[in-house]
Amino acid sequence: MAHEVVLLDFWPSMFGMRVRVALAEKGIKYEYKEEDLRNKSPLLLKMNPIHKKIPVLIHNGKPVCESLVIVQYIDEVWKDKNPFLPSDPYHKAHSRFWADFIEQKVYDTARKIWATKGEEQEVAKKEFIETFKILEGELGEKPFFGGETFGFVDIALITFYSWFYTYETFGNFSIEAECPKIIAWAKRCMQKESVANSLPDQKKIYEFTVWMKKYFGMD
Amino acid sequence: MAGEVVLLDFWSSMFAMRVRLALAEKGIKYESKEQDLSNKSPLLLEMNPINKQVPVLIHNGKPVCESLIIVQYIDEVWNDKSPLLPSDPYQRAQARFWADFVDKKVSVAAKNVWSTKGEEQEAGKKEFLETLKIMEGELGDKPYFGGETFGYVDLSLITFYSWFHAYEVLGNINIEAECPKIIAWAKRCMQKEAVAKTLPDQKKVYEFVVQLRKMFVSE
């Protein structure tokens, strides 16, 4: 089957990164198109008219939107290699639950750590640590959330790791001190080429965030 | 495949209704255990320690949480009858996208219609009707979101229909006037025995929501 795969993306987006990791895990060749989110391309607006957001995967001209929907789509189409989800329905539901937990709990809280100050920031830090401690509990002694192999939940979470230096610097705290197992897991994931090649450097994300705060007058 | 199926339930929850509807579509016998959400049972807290919410499906003693995850699980386990999701991965991704839209956009706006007042409520009403109009666009001229047959997206949205009378009275809006295609679609769904039997009476829901609103709004 011939595949034309295009990814509309934005380099610091942890949601776009999930799709990059998924494509790399499956060894899929694709064209990466960087979007300027202050000036969205006609292609983006056409391919994601509802949310007008990246990432968008365009497969043989047809768009798929929402990062976790895209990752499941990739897993189902390129099903012969490195499955992300377990085959058993119960374990699949379990993985979906934890990816959904990450989706509901991590982003908004994490954003408040770099985007707010004072009381609001302190509350956000506390919630962030609590969320990651719950995730540590779910990880347990397993090398990956997927068990012996890197899977759907690992993909959903690992991309936030590229923002950890940003959270720690703005929030003035150490994630490793609070959640050592998460850092150990993240470093294990980063040993995978698909992950290391897909995540930007943590310092670059920090510089981007500093710039973004100035640009939007968030200081 | 069969085994023991228990649903931790709450009669007026549109999320729990989704599961009841999926079970009815598949003809699965189950025990519904109505929960007191102001005094959560040890069973609920044990089966859903993370979110502590209904619905929870307990299949042969093992819990599955989050309504859309439960519905997908039911579809995968009882896969010989009335498929809810399409078999084609692209169509499946589209179905997941729209169910996610219902959860992220329709549901959130709907809540603001009954749980807020003043300007916040006006904004909520506007957004709610906008999201329903977007759904109308997606429905097009199809009898169901699933095409010729009732499917996953229909199931994710129809349960909100039981709350429409409550939205209309408390929000002072006329959904049929604004979104006639959605009402036509909903009435079509209600002709299905599984839907008609699963959804509670709209007046009963309204009385419940009037009481519930008191917890959110001082008037």
Contact A146, A95 (CB under 8 A): yes
Residues in chain A where the model's pLDDT stays below 50: none
What is the predicted ipTM?
Answer: 0.96
Kindly report, residue by residue over A71-130, the tens digit of the pLDDT.
999 999 999 999 999 999 999 999 999 999 999 999 999 999 999 999 999 999 999 999
* The pLDDT of residue A175: 98
Query: Cα–chain-centroid distance for residue B83?
Result: 18
By CA distance, what is B138's nearest residue in A? A50
Please write the tens of the pLDDT for every residue from B162-175. 999 999 999 999 99
Q: What is the pTM (predicted TM-score) of this model?
A: 0.96
CB of B93 less than 8 A from some CB of A: yes
Coil vs helix vs strand at B5: strand
Which of B76, B93, B134 is facing A89, going by the closest CB pair? Answer: B76
pLDDT of residue A40: 97
Helices B107-115 and B202-214: crossing angle, nearest 10°? Answer: 70
pLDDT attached to residue A1: 60
Q: How many CB atoms lie within 10 A of CB B50?
A: 14
Q: Which residue of A has its CA nearest to B58?
A: A90
Which tens digits make up the pLDDT trace of B63-120?
999 999 999 999 999 999 999 999 999 999 999 999 999 999 999 999 999 999 999 9
Out of B62, B70, B89, closest to residue A76 by CB: B89
A137 touches B: beta carbon within 8 Å: no
For residue B153, pLDDT beyond 70: yes
Size of interface A-B (CB pairs under 8 A): 52
CA distance A161 to chain B (A): 23
Q: Does B145 lie at the interface with A, CB-CB under 8 angstroms?
A: no
Checking if the pLDDT of B1 tops 60, the result is: no
| Beta-carbon separation of A69 and B73 below 8 A | no
Please, what is the average pLDDT of chain B?
Answer: 97
Q: Does B84 touch chain A (CB under 8 A)?
A: no
Q: Do A92 and B100 touch (CB under 8 A)?
A: no
SS3 (DSSP) at B17: helix
Check residue B81 and give its pLDDT.
Answer: 92
Mean pLDDT of B46-66: 98
pLDDT at residue B76, as a whole number: 98
Q: Which residue has the tokens 């996208």?
A: B97
**Residue A129, min C-alpha distance to chain B (Å):** 15
Q: Min CA distance, A101 vs chain B (Å)?
A: 9
- Res B196 pLDDT > 60: yes
Which residues have C-beta within 8 Å of that of residue B121, sequence separation ≥ 6? Answer: B112, B113, B171
User: pLDDT by residue (tens digit) across B27-43?
Assistant: 999 999 999 999 999 99
Largest Cα–Cα distance of chain A, in whole Å?
55
Which amino acid does the sequence have at B66?
A: E
Sign of CA dihedral A7, A8, A14, A15: negative
Tokens standing for B108? 């959130």
Number of neighbouring beta carbons within 10 Å of residue A70: 26
